[in-house]
Structures are given as structure tokens and as C-alpha cells.
Amino acid sequence: MKILVIGGGGREHAIVWKLKQSPLVTEIYCAPGNPGIGEMAKCVNISVEDISALVEFSREINIDMTIVGPEGTLVSGIVDEYRKAGLNIIGPSKQAAQLEGSKAFSKKFMEKYKISTAKYNQVTSFEEGRRLLNQYQLPVVIKADGLAAGKGVFICNTLLEAEKALQEILVDRVFGDAGSEVIIEEFLEGIETSILCFVDGENIVPMVGSQDHKRIFDGDEGPNTGGMGTYSPNYTYSNEMAEKVMEQILKPTLKGIQEENMDYRGILFVGLMITQDGPKVLEYNVRFGDPETQVVLTRLETDLVEIFQKLLINQLNSIEINWSEKASVCVILASTGYPEKYEKYKKIEGLNCLDEDIIVFHSGTTIKEGNLVTDGGRVLGVTAISNSIEEARHLVYVNIEKIHFEGKHYRKDIAIK
């Protein structure tokens, strides 16, 4: 089989790495990919936003299956275009991708299908928003409705901060049209956790749990990022809680997908807050998480292609999905300054001196004048799989010391119990 993966980050590198192990696969292409991915797949210079070029490429060289990484491409409707062209693709339709593409859409969906989430209001004007703020306790959460590259959520500790967030989103339009509507939301307290699931029209199958670390600095200080490190299994997530999440969240979500006639054959990533009143949904993402995928797929024993084949024909229930008992830890090496401004094109050295069992997933890297250099906020995901979280963590941190680039920043407290 010929497979195309769309995207060029650590998540896509992990997907390619896993697909590469499948005996069913003859060739893997990645658009646009990155230098790490280029070591195991053919990188194709097509932008993730150029849907017609991606369809054309897939048709031309007879791609048997396409897997989409980034949410923007899914929200733009790539799945509908592929299906129209008679091509196999893993992901939700444009309508279903609204579960991530519009927070107002997903809140209404949760309300309709009685899926527990934070109380909220949806507003379109600054004045309306300001009036409603006094119905909320502090801190209060303000969210831009549309996609904002992870920057559209403001946790506001004072009324002034909340008003400033409303102003920035609704009046200054810092996120453009993604901010034409705003969700004001109750702040939830608890333990945050994410569950990735395989979904077809009939089944929802959770993958093993993983835990991200969102803030940029140790001790969960500083601004939110795309994710600074992950581990799996998630020891904060008990089997009992997993059962509760299945009954109270995942099954009602599948019911909603069915009743709304959504074509959802892809990945659903449910962001949860485990509160004193039970699990509540913070958000849906309609794709693999980054860097959750790096630790989850390194524990997957079953052939990912076989899973996708079943998923495409709504038969996920007919395949047993096995996971390694081992633990996986991924620590992100970022550019100093991320998630705000940072410098690029710093030479990366030391990758050829690492222990054998370390896997380095590339996020923001490129080649300049024959050298591997940094090309993003998140640069590399150093990953190890071992007998315990402690062992995997130790391996990762020992090897991080061997990797050098100017401005290397990483959290030192990933996966500490």
C-alpha cells in the first residue's frame, strides 16, 4: 500500500514512524514532512492547506490511504474532497470537524447530547460579553470561537483581564474571523487529561491514556503552549475513571455523531478536566494530539494500517488493539522565547550520539546549507520507551544533554510523579 501523511510536525513524524513498521506498507509519502520524516518517508513539497493539490497528488500516484495531522486542513474540508474523488482518507468530514473548528458548535453539541462540560455563554459583542461577566466567578475563561493555533483561550483572574480578552478577540480581532464569536466559560478545577480515540460510525475506541504538560515552564508556570512533554500510561487516570468517561462522555459523543449524521471516520481527541463532580469535556480535537501521539503510538503493538482499514469500513469492533505494558516519555526541546517570539535556524548537533532506544521526533526543523537547523517553536520531541515511567524519563533526560542548539529550552519536570 502507498500511504500519504499530511503535516510536518512531531505528531506526523510519530505517525510515519508507526506506519513504517507495517508489512502492508510499500511506500510512505509525507506532505510537506520535515528532515526527520525524510529519513523514513518521501517528503512532498505540498502545503497542508493546498487541498486540491493534495487530492491531485494522491490520485496521480494512486495513494491507497491518506492520514491527516493538522486540524486546519480537516476544518477546511479535506475529507469531503477526498471522498468525492473516491480516495480513502482518515479524518472527520467538514461538518464533523466543526467539533474542533467552532467552540460554539461543540458546546451546543455537548448540551444537546448531555455531555458534561463547563457552563457557558456565547456572545458576539463586547458589551454583551461584559454584561454577562458578572454572572461568573473568577477566574473566568474567555475563548475565541474558531481555530487560533492554541492561543485563543484566556484564563482571566480579574474582571479587567476578562474585559481585555473580550476586547482583543471581539473588537481588535487579533484572531481575525476566528474571533467573531466568543465563549465565556466557567473555570473548571481538577486534573486535566486527554484521551485519544479511534472513531468510526459505529464504534469509539479509546487509546491508552497520556498526560501533556501545557505550560512553558517547570511547575506549570508561564503561558500555555502546544504541549511541552507527555507520558503514557497516565497514572492519574484510573480504570474506574476510564469506565466513567466511556459511559458519560465517549458513548454520548458517539450517539451525537450518529444522530447528527456526521461522517466521522478518524481520530477524536477529548480534552477532559477530572473535577470533583466527575469528568467534564474542555474541548474536542478532531485529530491526533501533539505531543500525545508520540507517547501513545510508541506503545501501540497492533498494526496501525490494519486499524485504519477497519475504521474505514466501520468495523473497529472486529480488531483487537494491543498496547505495550511499557511506559513512554516524550520531552519537547523548544526554542527560547516560544510560545512568543523566538529565533530560528540554529544549528542542531548531537543527534547521532544518542542511545539506541531513543527516538527523536522532529517538529520544527529544516535543512540550511546542508545543516540541520531549528525552524519552529517546538523543535524536537525526545522520546523513550522503557519498563517504567522513571526509567523512560531517565533515558530521555540523559540523552537531552547530548543534543545541542542555541537557545534550547525544555521542561525538567516532565513525568515526575
Beta-strand pair 264-275/278-285 = antiparallel
Instruction: Give me the 199-238 binding string for ligand AMP, x by CB under 6 A, dash otherwise.
Output: ---------------x---------x--------------
Q: Which stretch binds ligand AMP (CB under 6 A): 9-17, 182-190, 254-262, 401-409?
A: 182-190
Q: Which stretch binds ligand GLY (CB under 6 A): 50-58, 164-172, 247-255, 287-295?
A: 287-295
Indicate which of ligand AMP, ligand GLY, none lies near residue 289 (CB less than 5 to 8 Å, by partner kind): ligand GLY
Distance of CA 285 to the CA centre of its chain: 7
Q: For 395, what's the count of Cα atoms within 13 Å in the CB-facing half-sphere?
A: 22
Q: Which of 347, 340, 329 is nearest to 407 (CA)?
A: 347
64: exposed, middle or buried (C-beta count within 10 Å: 0-12, 13-18, 19+)? Answer: middle
Nearer to ligand AMP, 283 or 303 (CB): 283
Instruction: Give me the 291-330 binding string for ligand GLY, x by CB under 6 A, dash otherwise.
Output: -x--------------------------------------
What CA–CA distance (Å, rounded) separates 90 from 361? 22
Q: Which stretch binds ligand GLY (CB under 6 A): 289-297, 298-306, 334-342, 348-356?
A: 289-297
User: Judged by CB under 6 A, does residue 285 bind ligand GLY?
Assistant: yes
Nearer to ligand GLY, 145 or 212 (CB): 212
For residue 12, the minimal CB distance to ligand GLY (Å) is 12
How many residues make contact with ligand AMP (CB under 6 A)? 14
Cis peptide before 339 (omega within 30 of 0): yes
How many residues make contact with ligand GLY (CB under 6 A)? 7
Indicate which of ligand AMP, ligand GLY, none lies near residue 153 (CB less than 5 to 8 Å, by partner kind): ligand AMP
What CA–CA distance (Å, rounded) separates 381 from 26? 26
| Residue in 10, 33, 289, 339 binding ligand GLY, rule: CB under 6 A | 289
Q: Which stretch binds ligand GLY (CB under 6 A): 130-138, 158-166, 284-292, 392-400?
A: 284-292
User: Judged by CB under 6 A, does residue 188 bind ligand AMP?
Assistant: yes
What CA–CA distance (Å, rounded) separates 6 from 59? 15
For residue 377, the minimal CB distance to ligand GLY (Å) is 13
User: Judged by CB under 6 A, does residue 8 bind ligand GLY?
Assistant: no
For residue 187, the minimal CB distance to ligand AMP (Å) is 4
User: Judged by CB under 6 A, does residue 100 bind ligand GLY?
Assistant: no
What CA–CA distance (Å, rounded) separates 166 from 136? 14
The SS3 assignment for 139 reads coil
Nearer to ligand AMP, 153 or 398 (CB): 153
Q: Which of 238, 188, 235, 193 is nearest to 211 (CA)?
A: 193
What CA–CA distance (Å, rounded) separates 279 from 272? 6
User: Judged by CB under 6 A, does residue 12 bind ligand GLY?
Assistant: no
Helices (H) and strands (E) in the chain, counts: 14, 23
Cell numbers placing 98:
466543526
Amino acid at 281: V
| Residue in 12, 80, 283, 303 binding ligand AMP, rule: CB under 6 A | 283
Residues 60-89 that bind ligand GLY (CB under 6 A): none
Rounded to 5 degrees, φ, ψ at 317 are: -70, -10
Q: Which of 183, 90, 172, 92 is nearest to 133 (CA)?
A: 183
For residue 249, the minimal CB distance to ligand AMP (Å) is 15
Entry field: residues in the chain: 417
Q: Which of 338, 224, 242, 235 is nearest to 295 (CA)?
A: 235
Cell numbers placing 149:
493555533
What CA–CA distance (Å, rounded) separates 1 from 204? 25
User: Judged by CB under 6 A, does residue 153 bind ligand AMP?
Assistant: yes
Give contact residues for ligand AMP (rule: CB under 6 A). Answer: 118, 141, 143, 153, 155, 185, 187-188, 192, 214, 224, 271, 282-283
Give contact residues for ligand GLY (rule: CB under 6 A). Answer: 212, 226-227, 285, 289-290, 292
